[in-house]
């Protein structure tokens, strides 16, 4: 077992990693199972299977054949239970009073090891997934975020929808799903994280009991590395008769494996963290162009993506795009002031600390770091890295990322066959 002042880690002989973040003064315990597999690992013809499988693992096990038994086991003691699918990971979690921690482990382990994947339930849930996909297409604000990924990456794993499309979801039968599940939910890809009123030795013992016999499958799926081959701006229009135009401006960015991720996080915070951020102040407060404006960077292992969203009146969409680009250009061409940089650092550090007051947040902190980086940094270590970011670092990265030939635009609104938006994408 390895440990720091705050966190503990053990690795089972088969490769399952157990990480814990004990907390004093709390009565809850949170448990998260992270698998390093997600939608970009899928074969194109089975796009959406990771997300579909996540749903199906709540639909009954040999011990708990009625799906209601799964939710009631956790909710019946006041707990919460859920899951999420990403492009590189899938997670399952529960938060319970700490006196019921062993129960939460038993329930999650049961669904992850013993789900029956009943064919009738599979077909029923297929309809639910398809309705979920359709709901995205019915919401221009959601759809524009889906489309921008496709504009930047095309038909690569990082560009395809996590939920898949109707045509691929329709092809996934029980045999295909069980094969994907057994092949990819491997011990070497599994991190079991807990936070709150927990004991590390107990978590390790429960892990050995429920997962100690699990073996790797050498045929596990791998993702195709992303290719960034863009040489000119790209535009995709979604013609909808909407009252508001929805804009996503994007570009490739740094992967999480790049140590400059701390600089990228600072750049994101300058532009988009809170009402004092540059985008909010310029586009909403000064110009009155938008109600909602924000940005985010989404890093993967080998590549990343920056996205900036704004919703505006269709009559002012050109002005909003130009204003968005103007803020990126300003950050690229003009050094931050020392005062603004320090304010941004303090904001990031404060939010980091406040975000670790809950047992689920601590479980997420230790689990996501272990699953992503293979090591766990303390908040103090991360804050040191944030504090080390310089004015020159931010400007240099902005110059690297904010390039005219790497810009992509997705736009939803009543624009017919208008074809001149690419002319706006200039620095």
Q: Catalytic residues, which ones? A: 54
**CA dist., res. 268 & res. 278, Å (int):** 10
Q: Which two tokens stand for residue 3?
A: 């440990």
**Residues 380 and 51 sit within 8 Å (Cβ to Cβ):** no
Long-range CB contacts for residues 122-126, cutoff 8 Å, separation at least 24: 122/56, 122/59, 122/173, 122/174, 122/177, 125/52, 125/55, 125/56, 125/59, 126/52, 126/169, 126/170, 126/172
DSSP secondary structure letters along 222-272: -PPPP-----S-EEEEEE---SSEEEEEEEEE--TTSTTHHHHHHHHHHHH
Q: Which residues contact 68 (CB under 8 A, 6 or more apart)?
A: none
Q: What is the 8-class DSSP label of residue 291?
A: E
Q: Which two tokens stand for residue 318?
A: 């050109």
Q: Which two tokens stand for residue 231?
A: 């040489």
Q: Which two tokens stand for residue 134?
A: 């359709």
Q: Is the dihedral of CA 268, 91, 35, 353 positive or negative?
A: positive
Q: Which residues contact 369 (CB under 8 A, 6 or more apart)?
A: 375, 376, 377
- Are β-strands 90-97 and 28-35 bridged in parallel, bridged antiparallel, or unpaired? antiparallel
Q: Which of 420, 424, 412 is nearest to 247 (CA)?
A: 412
**Residues 16 and 211 sit within 8 Å (Cβ to Cβ):** yes
**CA dist., res. 30 & res. 42, Å (int):** 29
- State the DSSP H helix or E strand holding residue 154, giving kind and residue range, or none if neither: none
Q: Which of 132, 121, 124 is nearest to 166 (CA)?
A: 132
């Amino acid at each position: 077992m390895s440990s720091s002042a705050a966190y503990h880690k053990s690795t089972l002989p088969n490769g399952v990693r157990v990480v814990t973040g004990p907390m004093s003064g709390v009565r809850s315990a949170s448990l998260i199972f992270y698998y390093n597999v997600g939608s970009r690992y899928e074969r194109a013809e089975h796009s959406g299977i990771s997300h579909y499988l996540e749903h199906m693992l709540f639909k009954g096990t040999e011990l708990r054949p009625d799906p209601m038994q799964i939710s009631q086991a956790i909710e019946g003691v006041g707990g919460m239970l859920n899951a999420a699918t990403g492009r590189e990971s899938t997670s399952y979690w529960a938060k319970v009073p700490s006196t019921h921690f062993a129960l939460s482990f038993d329930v999650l382990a049961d669904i992850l090891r013993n789900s029956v994947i009943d064919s009738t339930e599979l077909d029923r849930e297929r309809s639910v997934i398809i309705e979920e996909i359709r709901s995205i297409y019915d919401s221009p604000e959601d759809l524009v975020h889906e489309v921008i990924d496709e504009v930047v990456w095309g038909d690569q794993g990082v560009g395809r929808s996590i939920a898949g499309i109707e045509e691929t979801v329709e092809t996934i039968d029980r045999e295909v799903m069980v094969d994907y599940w057994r092949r990819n939910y491997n011990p070497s890809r599994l991190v079991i994280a807990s936070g709150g009123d927990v004991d590390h030795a107990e978590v390790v013992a429960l892990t050995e009991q429920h997962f100690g016999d699990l073996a790797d499958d050498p045929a596990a799926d791998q993702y195709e590395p992303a290719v960034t081959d863009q040489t000119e701006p790209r535009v995709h229009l979604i013609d909808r008769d909407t009252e508001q135009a929805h804009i996503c401006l994007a570009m490739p960015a740094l992967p999480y494996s790049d140590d400059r991720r701390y600089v990228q996080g600072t750049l994101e915070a300058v532009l988009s963290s809170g009402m004092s951020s540059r985008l909010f102040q310029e586009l909403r407060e000064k110009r009155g162009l938008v109600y909602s404006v924000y940005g985010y960077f989404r890093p993967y292992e080998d590549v990343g993506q920056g996205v900036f969203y704004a919703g505006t009146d269709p009559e002012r969409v050109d002005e909003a795009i130009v204003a968005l680009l103007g803020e990126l250009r300003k950050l690229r061409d003009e050094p931050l002031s020392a005062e603004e940089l320090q304010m941004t650092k303090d904001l990031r550090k404060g939010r980091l600390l406040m975000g670790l007051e809950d047992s689920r947040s601590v479980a997420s902190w230790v689990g996501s770091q272990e699953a992503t980086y293979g090591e766990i940094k303390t908040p103090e270590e991360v804050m040191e890295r944030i504090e080390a970011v310089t004015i020159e670092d931010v400007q240099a990265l902005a110059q690297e990322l904010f390039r005219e030939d790497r810009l992509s635009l997705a736009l939803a609104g009543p624009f017919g066959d208008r074809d001149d938006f690419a002319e706006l994408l200039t620095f």
